[in-house]
């Protein structure tokens, strides 16, 4: 980021997350940048405290020890006083060289996205909301999402699918901007999830480029409509909420927006969920099981239309919905 107002917040979030989750540096970055009461919220777990953060990072690093991170976009904004919120989107390339959460090492190359929202106060991170495209990882490893989820449950008898009831209070409880580009984007998806899916036709150009779960890349308003409609079809009576919205308009740059949202309810229909795992590339009948699907969306737009994050298309919506497996609360 070159905007002097938010550059510091963006650098704290990016520097600390890369040091811990990519380089396994649990010394100075942890002491300097993480609050003692930090909470990491991900679909697979709620992790509390610095030791919990280190444990989470070690789990990823044991399975994927050689990672390359490619920062794609950052949307950061000052909230009030010393509070900052930063949305990060990155692509990770890694080799499955270690045994761990994804089974015995295969040596296969992986490419997947991670979307995070990071809140910090006085230069220390207090909350992280993270979504990882596990669908892309499982697909690259030829793993069945159903079997993988079942195995994860079997290994931990205390594990349970994540629901909002497992959440803990956050140090940052703001909802973000109530006007501007972030609020406009939130209004679009909220209205769509209430049934106005035709709105995408007027807000996306034919060349819209979308990065979707499972490492898929699709184009145009119909792709956006299919993604959101698939979620609604899977949980037709679920509650859709936009928890946080951020918009950034900096000189010489396209407006950029970031949303944190969730869809909670019973898996009661055909759509973008299959059995106990969110698997957007397949469909299956509803099982009437409780589902909590957390999501992040980061987009760029201009002239009232979304523009490509990669610079090659007229419009782009980058949305990565987490493959939901098991959820549990960890406290250290």
Query: Per-domain residue ranges for the chain?
Result: 7-173, 181-329
- Asked if residue 294 lies in contact with residue 134, where contact means CB atoms within 8 angstroms, the answer is no
Protein fold of 7-173: Nuclear Transport Factor 2; Chain: A, (3.10.450)
Which tens digits make up the pLDDT trace of 93-114?
Answer: 999 999 999 999 999 999 999 9
| pLDDT (0 to 100) of residue 33 | 93
DSSP, res 22: T
Bigger pLDDT: 327 or 247?
247
Residues in Cβ contact with 95 at an 8 Å cutoff, skipping those fewer than 6 apart: 64, 65, 66, 107, 108, 109, 110
Which tens digits make up the pLDDT trace of 29-49?
Answer: 899 999 999 999 998 888 999
**Domain 181-329 maps to which CATH number in 1.10.3330.10, 3.30.540.10, 3.40.50.720, 3.10.450.50?**
3.10.450.50
Judged against a pLDDT cut of 50, whether residue 2 lies above it is answered with: no
- Confidence band of 81 (pLDDT split at 50, 70, 90): confident
Which tens digits make up the pLDDT trace of 189-227?
Answer: 999 999 999 999 988 878 888 999 899 999 999 999 999
What rounded mean pLDDT belongs to the chain? 81
Mean pLDDT of 237-266: 90
Residue 250 buriedness (CB in 10 A; 0-12 / 13-18 / 19+)? middle
Calpha distance 327→57 (Å, rounded): 16
Q: How far is the CA of 191 from the CAs of 1, 179, 238, in angstroms?
A: 31, 16, 14
């Amino acid at each position: 980021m070159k905007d002097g107002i938010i550059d510091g917040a963006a650098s704290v979030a990016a520097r600390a997350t890369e040091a811990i989750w990519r380089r396994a540096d649990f010394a100075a970055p942890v002491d300097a940048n993480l609050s003692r009461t930090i909470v990491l919220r991900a679909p697979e777990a709620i992790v509390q405290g610095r030791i919990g953060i280190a444990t989470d990072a070690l789990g990823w690093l044991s399975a994927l020890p050689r990672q390359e991170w490619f920062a794609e976009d950052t949307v950061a904004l000052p909230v009030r006083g010393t509070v900052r919120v930063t949305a990060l989107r990155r692509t990770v390339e890694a080799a499955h060289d270690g045994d761990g959460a994804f089974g015995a090492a295969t040596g296969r190359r992986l490419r997947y996205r991670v979307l995070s929202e990071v809140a910090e106060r006085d230069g220390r991170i207090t909350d992280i909301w993270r979504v990882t495209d596990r669908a892309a990882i499982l697909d690259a490893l030829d793993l069945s999402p159903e079997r993988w989820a079942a195995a994860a449950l079997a290994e931990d008898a205390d594990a349970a699918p994540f629901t909002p009831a497992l959440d803990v209070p956050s140090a940052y409880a703001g909802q973000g901007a109530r006007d501007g580009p972030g609020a406009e984007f939130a209004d679009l998806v909220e209205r769509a999830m209430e049934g106005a899916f035709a709105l995408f036709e007027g807000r996306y150009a034919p060349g819209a480029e979308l990065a979707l779960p499972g490492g898929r890349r699709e184009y145009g308003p119909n792709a956006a409509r299919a993604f959101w409609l698939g979620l609604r079809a899977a949980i037709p009576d679920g509650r859709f909420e936009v928890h946080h919205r951020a918009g950034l308009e900096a000189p010489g740059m396209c407006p950029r927006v970031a949303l944190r949202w969730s869809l909670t309810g019973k898996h009661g229909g055909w759509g973008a969920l299959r059995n106990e795992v969110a698997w957007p590339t397949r469909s299956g009948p509803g099982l009437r099981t409780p589902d909590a699907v957390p999501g992040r969306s980061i987009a760029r737009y201009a002239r009232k239309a979304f523009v490509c994050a990669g610079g090659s298309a007229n419009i782009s919506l980058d949305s990565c919905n987490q493959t939901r497996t098991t959820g549990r609360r960890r406290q250290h």
